Amino acid sequence: MRKNLYVAVALTLVGCATTAGYEKILNSWIGADELKLVRSWGPPQQTYESQGRKFLTYASSRNVYVPGMAPSYTTTVIGNTAYTDPVGGTPGYNVSKRCMTTFELESGKIISWRWKGNDCKARE
């Protein structure tokens, strides 16, 4: 349950980065030529051609560390001895973030795009 809370907090800290914002950027490329895309995004990681269509794929990946939470402590006194025990707390963990975007081109112009992954986001 606390892990979900940390993920929610981490996502809140990302701000207004959304998939809708990313799709808005991708839509702005419709009709642009291949050279303009490559000049802006760099060389694609993959290319594929079939039946007069060309597909350019860009991929990114990163790891995000979500810190854990320190435990709270309770102290119990029995006679002349105090016992302090940790309660709760969670370890930190890594989240793998990936985004793969493919542009489809016909006659050197971008006609469509598609993306997949959990990190295809941009500010609106």
Buried b (16+ CB within 10 A) or exposed e, 106-121: eeeebeebebebebbb
The backbone torsions φ and ψ at residue 33, rounded to the nearest 5 degrees and listed phi first, read -90, 160
Rounded to 5°, angle at Cα 88 from 85 and 91? 115
Say what the pLDDT of residue 8 is: 47
Residue with tokens 């793998």: 96
pLDDT(7) > 70: no
| Residue in the block written with tokens 């707390």 | 89
Where residue 15 falls among pLDDT bands split at 50, 70, 90?
low
pLDDT in tens, 33-45: 999 999 999 999 9
What is the C-alpha to C-alpha distance for residues 83 and 74, in angstroms, rounded to an integer?
Answer: 8
Per-residue pLDDT of 76-116, as tens digits, reads: 999 999 999 999 999 999 999 999 999 999 999 999 999 99
Structural element, H or E, at residue 117: strand 109-117
Percent of the chain with pLDDT over 90: 85
Contact predicate 29/103, CB 8 Å: yes
Whether 32 and 109 have beta carbons less than 8 Å apart is answered as yes
